[in-house]
Amino acid sequence: MTKIAFIGAGSFGFTRKLVNDVLTFSRLQDATIALMDVDDERLAYIHKAVNRIVKEGNYPAKIVVTKDRREALAGADAVLCTILNGGLDIWRKDIEIPKQFGVDINVGDTRGPSGIFRFLRTAPVMLSICKDMEELCPNAILLNYTNPMAMLCRAMQSQSKIQVSGLCHSVQGTASMLAKWIGAPMSEIDYVCAGINHQAFYLEYKWKGQDAYPLIREAMKRPEVYNEEQVRNEMFLAMDYYVTESSGHNSEYNWWFRKRPELIEKYCTNGTGWNPGAHAFIVKSYEDRQKNWKDEIEKWLNNPEPLKLQRGAEYAAYIINAYLGGDTYVFNGNIPNTGLITNLPENACVEVPVLVTRNRLNPIHVGALPPQLAALNNLSVAIEEMAVTGSLIGDARMIYQAICYDPLTAACLSLAEIKDMVKAMLAFNQPWLPQFKTIDF
């Protein structure tokens, strides 16, 4: 019998959808679903939700609920991770402290000073999960949904023999968005996408075997299309290839859109996920989610309508099915760069097509990225490598040096100002940074 462990199962939306997808595969329907979280209330709610899915689907699955991570991991064949180390009151400071120093961040969970400090808090926990897996389920695959994706995967992949891949829905999500813009059904779209997480590009995007980029350029002439993803569309018009992650995220990852208030007003107010003063908007949206999550779950649990148990588009269930002997599957995953992208550093965490077969992840060689894309990726990789190394060896000065090179931070602050900001962030986060013997540098 297959065992699938969900670490951070209290992430209600993710866990509910992923369990639903897993149980749509015939070879996984009798799986043991181990739900682990540190929050009793959230764990109780997700138990009810999974129990409803199992009952309505008439699945022979078994549910195990535990706060003991080792119990959840013991004998697992696959592990899915959706943890958050530190709650909203901690995370919001990742945005609010830089804002006090003049760096206006939008989301703050992947790159820049905010993403790096989220990584620093999360990395020790993720590495301890890998260590437990090496003892309790060494042949299991670890599928990570926790951000910041690239830095966490790089840390785990450099320190553990566990097969780890990070999963992000931006690749398939953006592919569908582009298809909608040009009026194409996704069944007729083919693409090759590669780079790094949140900064991968569609090197090819074809409709019925023909290059669809001219159609995408034409679609952008429509105001509703241009405004939907203004930052990404501007990047495409400059770089000639479309980037995978949303405008909200990508506005943080470069120098071009957030270094002055008038640029934020011009480029970062239209379309989805935007609001003038976006940092405050994002924090408020998370506060609202925190306040309303129980109401939303209760509404779902008590809805008398039968559940729609169709399989969704997330990669995880397809990967697990293929890894355990089902049909092979290709997805875009975050894995070590073993010569896969030839103009990015060896062993850096890259996002490339991966073929899943029984017990193996088989990454697909891409070759060299166009130079204008490699330039942006290489800067992000260099910063992430410094942050990962600084975390692993407990060097606070290296964290400062990594943030010195962050494009948005460097466009807004002097080196002395960056040092003051990093010191303030280190001081606030000290209780969650056991890897640092000292935060002085």
Active site residues: 169
Alpha helices in 240-328 (DSSP H): 247-250, 261-267, 278-302, 316-323
Pair 344, 196: CB distance under 8 Å: yes
Q: How far is residue 349 CA from its own chain's centroid?
A: 13
User: Is the sign of the CA dihedral 339, 341, 342, 346 positive or negative?
Assistant: negative
Angstrom distance (rounded) from CA 86 to CA 235: 33
**Between the CA of residue 228 and those of 70, 137, 221, what are the distances in Å?**
44, 44, 12
Angstrom distance (rounded) from CA 35 to CA 44: 10
Pair 165, 143: CB distance under 8 Å: yes
Q: 243 Cβ partners below 8 Å, 6+ apart?
A: 174, 195, 199, 200, 201, 232, 235, 236, 250
Q: Which residues are annotated as a binding site?
A: 147, 168, 198
Q: 245 Cβ partners below 8 Å, 6+ apart?
A: 110, 168, 170, 174, 197, 198, 199
The tokens of 426 are what?
Answer: 């280190």
Helix axes of 396-404 and 112-136: crossing angle, nearest 10 degrees: 130
Cβ neighbours, 10 Å, residue 13: 14
Pairing of strands 62-66, 32-36: parallel
Cβ neighbours, 10 Å, residue 209: 8
The tokens of 249 are what?
Answer: 């995220």
Q: Which residues are annotated as a binding site for substrate?
A: 147
CA dihedral 419, 349, 162, 68 (to 10 degrees): 50
Pair 165, 361: CB distance under 8 Å: yes
Pair 412, 102: CB distance under 8 Å: yes
Helix axes of 371-393 and 396-404: crossing angle, nearest 10 degrees: 160
Q: Which of 78, 74, 84 shows the shortest CA–CA distance to 42?
A: 84
Return the biggest CA–CA distance within the chain.
62
Q: Which residues are annotated as a binding site for Mn(2+)?
A: 168, 198
